Chains A and B, each alone.
Chain A
């Protein structure tokens, strides 16, 4: 087994029991948790308050010791100092020193990572820009709003360009800009091959970014699997088209009833998501140079992130292939080939798409629930989406996927 085969995080029978003053068992916070997170996964740890998410994360970081069971992070115990050089952690609250300013805060943590002077300064500047606080860097953290402090929390978690990013309730206390930014960071880092463990009870956040999910309740794992497996509804089909006239809607309804005895359950004009609308408004305000002492809309993701990680040739090619495939999916709005489509539905789709392909109104997506400004989670590479030496890349992908097994 080589280094890349080892799960980034692995727990076996992990149990944490909090005891009282007399050493009697008080609360079973985590109970017999078996979990495995592979390299490159965006793993969502879900559960209501008190379900054991934060306790699990604290054990993964060596901040709490398990009562029973085993933990390995990058194949080593979580208390191993070397392991921590590869981890970035954003706790559920911004536990920062109130008397330090943003730059000093990042400088402190940069020193703990033993980043050298120039490199440390460079990363700090880039991260401040990335989280939109470069103009407020000299203010003490104690004067920051909760959301601004949270942004510095995110910056400190990325300071070491971590291979594993652990985010505990990352969107708590953030404004929509911050929430959007966290999601963007997660997606960008995932695209760069980072492993991300995200704990939240805000389901929409997790659904937007995670490709794997585990749900905890009462300290036990109740469900786990890929997001698509757990959330797909086989008994529904969804179309998104350009605006249809009432007559056309009536024709579709008739067609469905005649051909497949299927009923349209609802028809309506989709609204913009509030997040999208909000972001547009802020963009306009910033474009008009409206003064603000708060956080600015963030800059691009810091360019050092993901560049210091030594990736194998296969990893690089696979990532490139996945990205290309993903972009092709967006561009051509392909129907994912692996989705099983029932025969009546298939016929219906054929009838609906018989109009010439140059008519944009007839281009439809099926089961694509992503918002337009939200890039979809990269799907496995579709063969025709890959250009260049397809045979070589395909074989590499297969070999890599077989190895990851």
Chain B
């Protein structure tokens, strides 16, 4: 361990004294110092904080990734510069040298991540303290931004029995005569399953649609919050209508709570812009003792002096309606988000180091940056390739490209799957399980595998360059 740490110390010293880290710190200071001032035109402190967190964490992610790739270049520079000749003439196994390099890069990146994280936290708190004293804004900041909330989707009723009833009804009424084989009385199992699925989807769609003057009660389970009036929970939803009214405003009534189960009932009148997410805070005593919450939406305009439109409301998916309740603090959430960023940096450090074990600095740098871009865009690229259409003219080409990308994205992790910035910004919980998953996938499996591969490649490499 002594030798590994000696190499790690040297790598950290290089990063610091070659002013690589200094440039990074200057960038971060620029962001931390400048961003809050540029956000003063934001309409509320909570929005300003959300924007600040989004930009600062996003910027930190990119800058630290670049720094990590750049720090890893030291190995290939040592080969070119000849320092490796003295190092490898010393009694240090090559795997320890690679491990030491990795440890040094990760140590420096971690220090900078912790410092930057502390800076982001400090600036966030300063923005809260120096913000305008608006009670509503303050409550929103506290309950919807600087918190860690768990989200529960709406419980969808089981439409299986109803779907089977409708299917049988149609079958008996001769609705499938055209597709039934001659003499048969039943559809084949695949067709039947497809038909049942269609019925279920239709029923669910119907359930998610609320016609004018109708109401729909949505139920949420496992709302594990403190059921007191001084605590709040949030209902988050995005309403759509079949046909937009001229003012693009939906007016409706909400009833939250279920007196039949011993809770308070809160009546809320809403004017909401259609097609956008909205969040309503309600006291937590609307939750029943069995941890369920009832929310009834009535498609009726409660504002009699305002224009009336016959809107048909629908939710395009059940993600468009959820209940959020606090389960942790902003500090814990930020810590978990930073931990997840660290997992990505560890993985990236291993990959960048592996490339320097094989390639010279410019090539290794380019390969690592390409890898970083692909890992960051993996989700988008996977979707793009899945729906890739070449017009049918080159089927073989399409298959080949899709095959190639499948292999590529088997090897390249999707970094967006381990990014909790969007959740953190919206005060949603970055779960510990998520962090542990990142730790398992990116560090225990990914990093270990890549560092081992780097060790093997470096062991086989002749560290002295041909000179004669």
Contacts and interface: CB of A to CB of B under 8 A. Distances in A.
Nearest to A84: B91
A73 B459 CA distance: 19
B394 interface: no
A54 B467 contact: yes
A231 interface: no
B180 interface: no
B13 interface: yes
A50 interface: yes
Nearest to B19: A99
A111 B466 contact: no
A55 B86 contact: no
A40 B351 CA distance: 46
Interface string A51-92: 010110010011111000000000000000110110101010
Given A18-B466, A112-B87, A93 B92 contact: no
Interface size class of A (residues with CB under 8 A): 35 or more
A64 B462 contact: yes
A380 to B, nearest CB: 33
A99 B86 contact: no
Interface in B82-114: 82-93
B14 interface: yes
Given A95-B85, A97-B83, A81 B92 contact: yes
A111 B2 contact: yes
A89 B91 contact: no
Contacts of A18: 466, 468
A116 to B, nearest CB: 10
A85 B176 CA distance: 86
A62 B91 CA distance: 11
Interface residues of B, number: 29
Residue from A27, A52, A113, A153 whose CB has the most chain B CB atoms within 10 Å: A113
B4 to A, nearest CB: 10
A97 B104 CA distance: 16
Chain B interface secondary structure, helix, strand, loop or mixed?
helix
Contacts of B92: 81, 112
Contacts of B85: 58, 61, 63, 89, 91, 95
B18 interface: yes
Interface string B101-142: 000000000000000000000000000000000000000000
A96 B86 contact: yes
Chain A interface secondary structure, helix, strand, loop or mixed?
mixed
Contacts, number: 87
A50 B3 contact: no
A369 interface: no
A84 to B, nearest CB: 4
B401 interface: no
Contacts of B463: 63
A62 B97 CA distance: 15
A289 B183 CA distance: 119
Nearest to A219: B468
A95 B86 contact: yes
A93 B82 contact: yes
B200 to A, nearest CB: 61
Residue from B5, B89, B93, B466 whose CB has the most chain A CB atoms within 10 Å: B89
B6 interface: yes
Given A58-B464, A109-B90, A95 B2 contact: no
Interface of B: 2-3, 5-6, 9-10, 13-14, 17-18, 81-93, 462-464, 466-468
6 contacts: A18-B468, A82-B91, A89-B86, A95-B84, A111-B3, A156-B86
3 tightest A-B CB contacts, nearest first: A95-B82, A111-B6, A99-B17
Interface of A: 18, 26-27, 29, 50, 52, 54-55, 58, 61-65, 81-82, 84-85, 87, 89, 91, 93, 95-97, 99-100, 104, 108-109, 111-114, 153, 156, 166
Given A95-B84, A112-B90, 13 more contacts: A61-B89, A63-B84, A81-B93, A85-B91, A89-B85, A89-B89, A91-B85, A96-B86, A99-B17, A108-B10, A111-B3, A112-B92, A113-B90
